[in-house]
Structure 1
């Protein structure tokens, strides 16, 4: 007859690759070999993506459409953008618009979605709301947490009995 330590959901063996089925599955993937640096990088990029997602969410929920005059265009740079000056009710506020739908010329009047709580948070009213990279990095947060849990759980189980920290 098998003991509960040899069968069931938790297996024990000499190599130390025992444990719950989820941990065994996670640790059998290439993600288990990710370095600590890559997990920290993934967490940082996910945080940045969530910050951009928050900006998009804020603009989706409370944006006002405001006319603005283009002061300067920055189309020769890697990330195309333009500087604009908002009109009423935010007269004189200067912003940099990076989420572009079309490329206006200097002096054109464009319609911008402006967050009334933070008037410098803007985008062209016709610009796309989400970028695919935002979704990609946000999804990596739970994946990274499961990998960290799997690695920590396996490391704790491999400690010899009676050892301290």
Structure 2
């Protein structure tokens, strides 16, 4: 009786680690860039480049790990989609940081990086919420239930 449960837990373990790592990576990215933004030495671009590259390496390694462990079943494909979205944030961050390094007085690029820091923070919160098993709310599902309730 405990065998299927054990197999289910073994399948969930890599996904659990991915969620935890994604939350930590997002929070570390946001914290590091935010702290370097406070330092008046002008090292924001370099720090952002470093954490964006580290984030991209994390996403690449995680996707390879999921493929290797065959953990990307159809029911878990949203994990890969989420990681690809996280990679997109890191690519935008890297691009803005490289341009900021070339043009250190461009306030628009610094603002772009600031908005991407906010995005990383929100991603970290979302992943942490998902990790602790917080309820998810699907707007379309809730609207359908509301409409069905009104009909009856």
Give the alignment's TM-score, normalised by structure 1: 0.30
Highest Rg: 1 or 2?
1
Higher strand share: 1
Give the alignment's TM-score, normalised by structure 2: 0.32
